[in-house]
Amino acid sequence: MKRALKHSPPPSIYHVVRGQHVEGAPPDVRGDLTGVRGDLTGVRGDLTGVRGDLDACELTDAERERGVHISELIERESAGDAT
């Protein structure tokens, strides 16, 4: 497993229904998943402002089985990084 997600302020939220852009979150989604990509089956926790490709975290089957706290996947900011 590696840290491959970034935490930043969330951009505008929208979803697509039958090819049409719809402002706001889908009715069956809880939390802010803006910019998160990959298979999110079973993902739980506060994802507000979290962006990135979940597949880039390279979770092993064992890590998926055990469960991983989302904070373990967010890249640590460097001392000179203001974002």
Is 82 part of a structural domain of the chain? no
Average pLDDT over residues 9-37: 71
Read off the pTM.
0.44
- Determine the pLDDT at residue 5: 78
**pLDDT above 80: residue 63:** yes
Query: Which residues, 6 or more positions from 15, have their beta carbon under 8 angstroms from its beta carbon?
Result: 22, 24, 25, 26, 29
Confirm if 50 and 10 have CB atoms less than 8 A apart.
Answer: no
Angstrom distance (rounded) from CA 83 to CA 69: 22
Is 58 part of a structural domain of the chain? yes
What is the residue range of 35's domain? 6-73
Is 69 part of a structural domain of the chain? yes
Angstrom distance (rounded) from CA 12 to CA 22: 11
Average pLDDT over residues 70-82: 72
- Determine the pLDDT at residue 72: 87
Q: Give how many domains the chain has, as a whole number.
A: 1
Is 78 part of a structural domain of the chain? no
pLDDT tens digits for 30-43?
666 666 666 666 66
